A and B are shown apart, each in its own frame.
Chain A
Amino acid sequence: MGVIELQGLEVRLGGRPVLNGLTGELRGSAIGLLGPNGAGKSTLINTLLGFHTPSAGAARVLGMDSRRQRAQIRERIGYMPENDSFIGNMSGVRFVRYMAELAGLPSRVALERAHEALFFVGLGEVRYRKVSTYSLGMKQLIKLAQALAHGPRLLILDEPTNGLDPMARQRMIQMLRDIRATGSIRLLISSHLLRDIDEICDDVMILKQGRIAAICNIEEERRSHRNFIEVETVGQTDALCAALRDRGCECACFASGRLKLVMPDSIGVRDLYVAAGQHGVEIRRVHRRRDSLEDIFLRAMDLEPARGELVRI
């Protein structure tokens, strides 16, 4: 069962289609949701939460229909919205306890878990202060605490690192990695920051103009490019190229001794050095090309998806 399943999902807001026939399945333990402004990321999250009703198609969260099983879905998810969203005149612990009780925890358990969640996110020392007195970073953290307190199975985070300084951002990312590592909770993270997604997620869905531009597994994408190597050399590169081709490499020579190689699995970088030594070529620099999420994102943005069709990247 996928974490999120979309079947021709269409959402219209104010008579305008915002999500247009989304179809796909996400199974990863941490899913990134990427896309430029207005691509439909927040609308998709709101639809999964049951705030917007699909005009066509269906969305399933943890196997439950977002239209018919809203309450069941909301019981199993924790949601951290993008913008400020809290009750300012409550103390931190009271606010988190309130939210945990609304999620279904008995009062005493909710209090205990509120304390735990606040310590977990690093707000233990300020938990009795009113939320309105918190800094921007602390407000982000208390939103995370309330999303975690009831022990959800899926955590939906909308721009979790918004407004955080570099240190706080790193702490937030580490925290999300720790949560992910427990294995008991799945993450769906919407962010503009590719680095955040890159550091936390294994699956990514890229939206463009209300359609899915790409769904991919980041690690698989990287693996598929792992044998692409760029080399800078000094010496007779033609002979080296010929030797590498004989051993099954795809090799292209460029000016200034630059080579681009796609090596078969049977050949390692060490073999490259050995071959260079045999032909009197000095290797000055080896760059193993690692596809960054930015490359994946930019390629998805360049390609124009047809309705209901995924772009291969």
Chain B
Amino acid sequence: MSVFKHEYRAYEGRVTRRWERIGVLVRYGLAEAWSSRITVGLFTLAMLPVIADLVAIYLANNAVARMMVSPGGKFPLEINSNFFLRVLSAQCWLALVVNAWVAPRLVSFDLADNALPILLSHPISRFGYVAGKFISLFSILSLVTWVPCLLLFGYQAYTAPQPWFGANIQVGLGLLEGSLVWIAIVALLGLALSSWVKWRMVATGVIFAAVFVPAGIGAVATGILRTRWGFLLNVPVMMTEIWQRLLGAPPVMKQDMELPGMAITLVLLAAVAICVALLNARIRAREVVRG
């Protein structure tokens, strides 16, 4: 029927499978995120260190280029687990910036105009809604973290002499695992905080604050009380320790200040549980006023 025949007609055709509808949320989420020029700008910015690292790997593995850069001397950069730890750290912190911009765009528009009653009146559950938004964010953050990291690792494995790959396979796995842990946590944090703040710019600030304010408090506690446990509030320190252990890089903290792996895991799980509770309380079609 053409659109100019203004009549109502029932739909009798094929319908998609239920799980595919999460894909609809993902698709619209991605479109929403990439419709902003700032997202494109941040993504470009996040690729600059990758290009620099790519050049560094090229120089480190190409004798002619190495001679041109430092004639007669030793090339100052060694491509090892430490190098990839720096790459991973840089990309993960840039991912936090991207997350702080994109997460509020995915959720705040729905909340600002009270779209949840209409969205959730369709055959999509609250879990499906959050999963759709999470997958959108996760895939954008993947493009900034593990995808370029593994491409760099692959390029190094290709250009370096053959034993390098076999000896450093843990680095590759560590890059993947470290990135996945980080982007899963920041994506959940971004969605949870965005669901409570209607204004996007404020939500962006709150996401940064949620990472760095406890870190500051933890640092103060560590300094005053002379205890390592203050670092449990310090996300940058905790994540650096996780990444270092996953990549098998040399320790970055003094031995007496290192945190037990179990303690870090429990703190991160608690953070995830809080994010899930925040989402559960907020992502509802109807609010019930108690009393």
On A, residues with C-beta under 8 Å from B are 13-15, 46, 49, 51-52, 70-72, 74-75, 77, 79, 81, 83-89, 98-99, 101-106, 109, 113, 115-116, 119-120, 124, 131-132, 143, 146, 148, 150-151, 153, 178-179, 182, 184-185
Please give me the residue from chain B that is nearest to A77 by CB atom: B121
| Given contacts A14-B290, A101-B21, A104-B21, A88 and B6 within 8 Å (CB-CB) | no
Instruction: Determine which residue in B109, B116, B122, B285 has the highest number of CB atoms from chain A within 10 A of its CB, and name it.
Output: B122
Q: Is the CB of A88 within 8 A of B113?
A: yes
Q: Is the CB of A116 within 8 A of B123?
A: no
Residues on B with C-beta less than 8 A from A106 are 13-16
Q: Is the CB of A120 within 8 A of B16?
A: no
Neighbour of B6 across the interface among A83, A102, A119, CB < 8 A? A119
**What is the bound-complex CA distance between A217 and B186, given in angstroms?**
56
Q: Is the CB of A51 within 8 A of B3?
A: no
Q: How many B residues, CB 8 Å from partner?
A: 42
- Shortest B4–chain A CB gap in Å is 7
Please give me the residue from chain A that is nearest to B20 by CB atom: A104
**What is the bound-complex CA distance between A99 and B290, given in angstroms?**
31
Residues on B with C-beta less than 8 A from A101 are 16, 21, 24
Residues on A with C-beta less than 8 A from B15 are 75, 103-106
- Shortest A264–chain B CB gap in Å is 43
**What is the bound-complex CA distance between A131 and B116, given in angstroms?**
16
| Given contacts A46-B285, A81-B118, A113-B11, A88 and B24 within 8 Å (CB-CB) | no
- Shortest B129–chain A CB gap in Å is 9
Please give me the residue from chain B that is nearest to A12 by CB atom: B288
**What is the bound-complex CA distance between A36 and B187, given in angstroms?**
44
Q: Which of B17-41 contact A (CB under 8 A)?
A: 18, 21, 24-25, 28
- Shortest A179–chain B CB gap in Å is 5
**What is the bound-complex CA distance between A51 and B284, given in angstroms?**
8
Neighbour of A87 across the interface among B12, B113, B288, CB < 8 A? B113
Q: Is the CB of A120 within 8 A of B122?
A: no
- Shortest B232–chain A CB gap in Å is 37
- Shortest A168–chain B CB gap in Å is 16
Please give me the residue from chain A that is nearest to B12 by CB atom: A151
Q: Is the CB of A151 within 8 A of B11?
A: yes
Q: Is the CB of B123 within 8 A of A71?
A: yes
- Shortest A7–chain B CB gap in Å is 23
Whether B7 sits at the interface, judged by CB under 8 Å, is: yes
Please give me the residue from chain B that is nearest to A121 by CB atom: B6
- Shortest A198–chain B CB gap in Å is 22
Q: Is the CB of A185 within 8 A of B10?
A: yes
Residues on B with C-beta less than 8 A from A15 are 290
Please give me the residue from chain A that is nearest to B35 by CB atom: A89
Residues on A with C-beta less than 8 A from B54 are none
Q: Is the CB of A102 within 8 A of B24?
A: yes
Whether B254 sits at the interface, judged by CB under 8 Å, is: no
Residues on A with C-beta less than 8 A from B124 are 102
Whether B120 sits at the interface, judged by CB under 8 Å, is: yes
Q: What 3 pairs across the A-B complex have the smallest Cβ distances?
A: A151-B11, A104-B15, A14-B290
Whether B1 sits at the interface, judged by CB under 8 Å, is: yes
Residues on B with C-beta less than 8 A from A102 are 21, 24-25, 119, 122-124
Residues on A with C-beta less than 8 A from B16 are 101, 104-106
Neighbour of B109 across the interface among A89, A153, A185, CB < 8 A? A89
- Shortest A301–chain B CB gap in Å is 26
Q: Is the CB of B10 within 8 A of A85?
A: no
Whether B74 sits at the interface, judged by CB under 8 Å, is: no
Q: Is the CB of A185 within 8 A of B8?
A: yes
Q: Is the CB of A74 within 8 A of B123?
A: yes
Please give me the residue from chain A that is nearest to B23 by CB atom: A101
Please give me the residue from chain A that is nearest to B11 by CB atom: A151
Please give me the residue from chain A that is nearest to B17 by CB atom: A104
Neighbour of B285 across the interface among A51, A98, A146, CB < 8 A? A51
